[in-house]
Amino acid sequence: MSPASVLMLLIGIGQSLVNPSPATEAEFIRRPPLEVKAVYVTSSTTRGSRMEQIIDLVNSTEVNAVVINVKEPSGEKFWPGLSDLITSLKNQGIWTIARVVVFQSNDLPPREPRLALKYSGGSLWRDRAGGYWLDPAAKEVWEYNANLAKRTLDLGFDEINLDYIRFPTDGDVDSIIYPAWDKKTSKERVITDFAHYIVTAIKNYRPHAVVSADIYAFTLVQDWDLDMGQRARLLAQEFDVLSPMIYPSHYRSGNFGLTNPAEYPSKVAKATLDLGRAILGDAPALVRPWFQDFNLGANYTPALVRQQIEALADAGYRNGWMLWNPSNVYTSEALNKE
């Protein structure tokens, strides 16, 4: 049994896992909408009455896709009814995207500390929010996430969306001891090599699956890896879709000459996308950004939410967008009705 197989067994302890039987490729060949317009959905929402409200939102507005957590920092989020839910969503013409949080993990490091970032004394390293991290250079972690993606596709998901594909950026990062990263290989090389590995593994298993990646928005503003490994122009050669997280509230005062960028979502989104076009050039990946639908930095009225969507079109992008609200409560007034 390979180390990653042992790792899979370990992760399954104490969890209710779903082991779907593999389906034929023909059952999964679906083309995404020309413009994927998605909302983010937590695992807990999928299992409660709130999911009906999400489905109603999709069926009554321009939204045509959902992004569902299958792996959060707290662990895997498979549950017995998930496959049936995905089948139902697909039968309604809804594009289904599985979100997988990759290197930030509060579940695995305590049980597999040999793969986790540590302090020099041997205790598990924590970021500013108290979260644990896996070593982005650990090949067993790569293999585990590739296997998890395959299991997710067997549930019927159309797309795998990878998040936290980076090195940590906050906390006492200078104190980190890496069990696998040699520090001679650049961070951007580690993350790009991981991207190539996992996309290849997924495509070999399910050639028609779409693989997307969430990246920091500022990787479209400055052409470097921000010291966390995400180099947009390199990742655009590996993934089908790049999803920069263009949340105006996350920009600093002074960015684009704005005192409070959160109050100017249109300017922030368009400026980011315009600069990104120059960095990405003719790279094959589509750009489908995350936009803000939550109150931070400003009260996000329907008008402010909509400004982001309109800025995408103004910047010449027609590949769609995704809305993020951690509570899964979305501003329907900002969306075109169907």
- Residue 273 and residue 230 in contact, taking contact as beta carbons nearer than 8 Å: no
Within a domain: 258 = yes
**pTM value?**
0.92
Answer for the pair 215, 192: CB distance below 8 angstroms, yes or no. Answer: no
pLDDT digits (tens, 9 = 90+) for 249-293: 999 999 999 999 999 999 999 999 999 999 999 999 999 999 999
At residue 28, the pLDDT reads 57
The predicted-structure confidence for 231-243, as pLDDT tens digits, reads as follows 999 999 999 999 9
Q: In terms of Cα–Cα distance, which of 153, 161, 203 is closest to 28?
A: 153
pLDDT in the model for residue 27: 54
Q: What is the mean pLDDT of the chain?
A: 93
At 190-201, the pLDDT tens digits run 999 999 999 999
148 is in which domain, residue-wise?
A: 3-7+29-332
Give the pairing type, strands 36-41 and 65-72: parallel
pLDDT at 31: 86
Q: What is the pLDDT of residues 20-77, one digit of tens each?
A: 444 545 555 788 999 999 999 999 999 999 999 999 999 999 999 999 999 999 999 9
For residue 3, the model assigns a pLDDT of 52
Q: Is residue 254 part of a domain?
A: yes
Residue 51 CA: distances (Å) to CA of 68, 80, 226, 329: 11, 16, 37, 11
pLDDT at residue 2 in the model: 53
Residue 162 lies in a domain: yes
CATH of the domain at 173: 3.20.20.70
Q: Label residue 4 by pLDDT band (50, 70, 90).
A: low
In a domain, 184, yes or no: yes
The per-residue pLDDT for 1 is 47
Nearest to 161 by CA among 4, 38, 330, 316: 38
Split into its structural domains, the chain has a count of 1
23 lies in some domain: no
Please check whether residue 24 lies inside any domain of the structure: no
> Does any domain span residue 16?
no
Residue 21 is assigned to a structural domain of this protein: no
